[in-house]
Amino acid sequence: MLNINNGAAQLRREILFRIAKLQLEDKLLEGVHFIPREMAPKNADPFRCCVYHDREVLRMRVIARLGHSLEDYDDEKKLAEYAQEALEREKPSEPMLTVLDEACNACVRSHYLVTNACQACIARPCMMNCPKGCIEITGGRAKIDAEKCVNCGLCMQNCPYHAIIKVPVPCEEACPVGAISKDENGKERIDYSKCIYCGACMRECPFGAMMDKGQLVDVIRHIMGGRRVAALYAPAIAAQFRASPGQLDGALLKAGFARVYEVALGADITAEKEAEEWEERMERGDVLMTTSCCPAYVRAVHIHARELDPCVSETRSPMHYTAELARADDPDCVTVFIGPCLAKRKEGLDDPLVDYVISAEELGALLMAKEIDLAECASPDRTALPSPSGRNFAQSGGVAEAVRVRVKHPERLKGALINGLDVAGMKLLASYGKAAAAGKPCDANLVEVMACPGGCIAGPGVITNPKVASVQLKKYVESGK
C-alpha cells in the first residue's frame, strides 16, 4: 500500500487549501487562475518536460478539486469559468472518480523482470518451475521470454536470491474488480459499470492520475451563504486529528457549521437494527447475514457477487441514520457527511437525506484555510454521546463486535471478517454467496466486510497513517467523552 505521506497526496491537499482560502476570502473567481503558476513558478525544477506542462497538469487537478470530470475537459475554458460553474451547481455529479490523462504514466503492462541480483545458479528453480518454458540463461543471467510468459509468478516465488521482481500497474493491481484497463493509447480507463468506488486506485496511483471530484466548494458556498449546515463526522475522522473528544466538534462549529453530529450515534442505531435483523434471519433459517455499512462492499455484491445479495443486511448505514437525526432537529438544514470514503460520495448522492460528502483531506484544508487550531478549540456541551462500540465502527472488526454485544443470544453468533476487498476477498465473497444460495452451512453466520484493509481509518481520503489513526481511535473509543 502506498504510504499516506507522498508527493501526489501533498499536491491534492495544497490545491484544496488554496481553493478554500480563495473562496473564504471571496477571491476564488479572480484567484483560481494563478494557482498552477504559483505552484509551478518559472524558476522551479520541472517534474515533466517543462514548467508549462507541469502547470497544465496542475490546472486539470484544480478542475477536479472544483468537482468537475476531466473527461469533459476543455483546454480553452478558463479556470474561473470552471469555478463559476462549481459555485452555481445544485448538486454534485457522477461519477465520483475522474482520470487525469496527462498525469497517467501509461505504465507498461504488468510483468516480471530479472534483476542484477540473478546468480545464474546451478539449481535454476526459475527455469525448472516455469510451466511455459519461457526462461533461459544467457550472458550469466536468467532471461524471460515476454511472448511466452503468462505472468504466473512462479519464477519469482522460487528464486532463492529474490532476483525476479514483479513490475505492476499500481491502479490495475489495486482494483479488486477489474474495472481498470488500458485504452488504445496505453492510458488507464475506468469501467464505471464495474467500479465499486473503493478508491483503491486513487490511493495507489503514484502519479495521482486517479482523482476524486471535490465537494468542498459546495459546502463553503452554503456556509458563506448563511445556510444552516450540519456536519456529520464519521468515527474515522475523529481518528485523523490529534484532538481530544469534543475538540473536533468545537473546530467544526468555529469553521461555520451550525450543528455537529457524531456519526457514531448513527452507528449505534445501525448496530441495534442489525442485531435485531440477525436474530430474525437466524429464526427463519437463514444461514448467513453480512453487514451493510460499507457502501463499496454493498456495491461489489450488487455488481459482482449477486448470489450473496440476499444475505446483505437491509439495515441502513450510520451516515443515513445520523442524517435522519439532523433532519429531525432541523428539516431545512444542509447535511454534510465527513469521512475518508470515496464510496460514501455515491451513497450520499443516492440518499435524499445527505446533501454533500467531503473527505478528511477536504476538512483539513478547510481548517487550515480558516487558521483553526484544534488544540485551542473548546468542547461544546453535548447532550448525546455514542457508545464505545459505535465509535469503534471505524476499524475492521468493530461492526461485528457492536452487533455481537447487542444480540440476545451471542453464543449463537459465529463471526467472520473480510478485512479489505482484493481479488482474494472477492473470491471469498463469491464462495459465501454460493454456499448461502445452496443453503449449505458456512463457517460463520455473521460476516463483516470492509473494503479498506484495517477499516475506514485506512480509507482513500485519510490524512493520517492508519497505524497512528488506530491508536488515536482507541483513545477516542475509550475516552467516554
* β-strand partners of 447: 290, 416
pLDDT band at 3 (very low <50, low <70, confident <90, very high): low
- Which of 174, 159, 100 lies closest to 124 in space, CA to CA? 159
* Average pLDDT of span 120-131: 94
pLDDT at 311 over 90: yes
Residue that wins the pLDDT comparison between 439 and 467? 467
What's the rounded Cα separation, in Å, for the pair 339 and 121?
52
Specify whether the CB–CB gap between 208 and 61 falls below 8 A.
yes
Question: What is the pLDDT, as a whole number, of residue 108?
Answer: 77
- Which of 413, 429, 433 lies closest to 421 in space, CA to CA? 429
**Mean of pLDDT over the chain:** 93
Helix (H) or strand (E) holding 84: helix 79-88
444 C-beta neighbours (distance < 10 Å), count: 18
Percent of the chain with pLDDT over 70: 99
pLDDT at 2 over 80: no
Question: What is the pLDDT, as a whole number, of residue 378?
Answer: 87
What does the pLDDT look like over 87-123, one tens digit per residue? Answer: 999 999 999 999 998 888 877 788 899 999 999 999 9
Instruction: Return the amino acid letter for 326.
Output: A
Question: What is the pLDDT, as a whole number, of residue 137?
Answer: 93
pLDDT band at 304 (very low <50, low <70, confident <90, very high): very high
Distance of CA 480 to the CA centre of its chain: 28
pLDDT band at 266 (very low <50, low <70, confident <90, very high): very high
What does the pLDDT look like over 152-207, one tens digit per residue? Answer: 999 999 999 999 999 888 999 999 999 999 888 778 899 999 999 999 999 999 99
What is 7-106+172-213's CATH topology? Alpha-Beta Plaits (3.30.70)
Instruction: Return the amino acid letter for 135.
Output: I
What's the rounded Cα separation, in Å, for the pair 1 and 204?
7
* Average pLDDT of span 262-273: 97
pLDDT at 383 over 80: no
* Average pLDDT of span 465-478: 91
What's the rounded Cα separation, in Å, for the pair 216 and 357?
8
Residue that wins the pLDDT comparison between 82 and 244? 82
Question: What is the pLDDT, as a whole number, of residue 442?
Answer: 85
pLDDT band at 86 (very low <50, low <70, confident <90, very high): very high
* Residue length of the chain: 481
* Average pLDDT of span 374-399: 90
Which ranges in the chain are annotated with CATH 3.30.70.20? 7-106+172-213, 111-167
Question: What is the pLDDT, as a whole number, of residue 1?
Answer: 60
For 182-305, where are the alpha helices, taking DSSP H only?
Answer: 200-204, 216-224, 235-238, 247-254, 263-283, 295-304
Question: What is the pLDDT, as a whole number, of residue 184?
Answer: 80
- CATH code for the part of the protein at 111-167: 3.30.70.20
Specify whether the CB–CB gap between 2 and 204 falls below 8 A.
yes
| Residue 4 cell numbers, joined | 499516506
Q: Which residue has the cell 467500479?
A: 195
Provide the strand spans (E) within 71-206: 97-99, 111-114, 135-138, 141-144, 164-167, 180-182, 188-190
Specify whether the CB–CB gap between 317 and 292 falls below 8 A.
yes
Q: What is the CA radius of gyration of the chain?
A: 24
What's the rounded Cα separation, in Å, for the pair 419 and 457?
12
* Average pLDDT of span 385-392: 94
Lowest-pLDDT range of 25-34, 101-110, 138-147, 290-299: 101-110
What does the pLDDT look like over 418-435, one tens digit per residue? Answer: 999 988 888 888 888 888
DSSP category for residue 417: E
